Amino acid sequence: MCGPTTKTDDATSVPYEKSEAFQLITYTEEELEAMRKVKAALMEEHGVEESRIGLCFLAMNTINSKLRVEEATKKYKKLLDIMADCGVPEGIDDDLWKPEAAYQLYPYKPAGVDNNGLSVLWIKGGNKVPLDEERHHVQAALMFFMAVHADHKSLKNGITFVIDSSQKPEGPKIGNEKKMQKIYQSFPLRPQAIRIAGASGVMRVIINTTIKVASVFTKQKILDRIQFVTIEDAKKAMPAHSVPKYVGGEGGGHSTIEEWVKGRLSLFTKPEL
């Protein structure tokens, strides 16, 4: 479930896993009004059922769209359409933790915050999604995405995005790679930095081609923040405590990705609309 409900913009710090100061999200009246308009547009202009509009995701989507109602509405509707194509026709609700999909969290690595105190979204690449696991994969991606944005500072100021591309997928393609890429591109990100770590020369060519395709969906200023770096350089952007365990850090002090995601989702503030 979403966490506490609040309206005021008076952020409160609470302890989280003893390793970081977790600041509960609070919303301004301007943000709440924009959310109401996006919800109304989805229902009245696009015929989206209220049950498919999760208020926590609505809040994150609207704020990451900088309160631009038309843009936020289009992003939400586009994501719902792609999710339906991946076996999730019910859309997004406020029961954010989906235990049946938790096994698909394996590409995501728990981390702490970067050197500016923003959450780190760290993905270990080189994975494939079997056709019969698309539904759970999409739900897991949504859980992780929401968990990264669950604190006040990260939601309001952005995050650091790291993709470990040092591992190349093995074997033939499954055939759903483009569809999965559309899902990832549809999440409303506002990264302050995007670091693609450990890519070989061949992988850089492939990634650059993907970036050109992504430019159709993503603003150029976001693409301009992409940097090709080594794993060591990516680690330098955050305290050693925040670095994922598999590359020599402490993972932000968290034991498992499931524990980290479930804990943060429980604290995501649900807006009162």
Identify the CATH number of the domain in which residue 252 sits: 3.40.525.10
| Residues forming beta bridges with residue 13, ordered by sequence position | 23
Q: Which parts of the chain sit beneath pLDDT 70?
A: 1, 3-21, 199-225
- Which residues are within 8 A (CB) of 151 and not within 5 positions of it... i.e. 6 or more apart? 22, 23, 24, 25, 119, 264, 267
Quote the domain boundaries for residue 18: 5-271
Q: What are phi and psi of 270, to 5 degrees?
A: -85, 125
Q: H or E element: which one contains 203? A: helix 201-214
State the pLDDT at residue 20: 52
State the pLDDT at residue 48: 98
Count of structural domains within the chain:
1
State the pLDDT at residue 21: 57
State the pLDDT at residue 41: 98
CA-closest candidate to residue 134, choices 179, 102, 173, 96: 179
Task: State the Cα–Cα distance between residues 54 and 71, nearest whole angstrom.
Answer: 17
Q: Is 40 helix (H, G, I), strand (E, B) or coil?
A: helix
Parallel, antiparallel or unpaired: strands 191-197 and 108-109: unpaired
CA-closest candidate to residue 194, choices 181, 177, 207: 207
State the pLDDT at residue 199: 63
Which residue has 């509009």 as its token pair?
53
Q: What is the value of pTM for the model shown?
A: 0.86
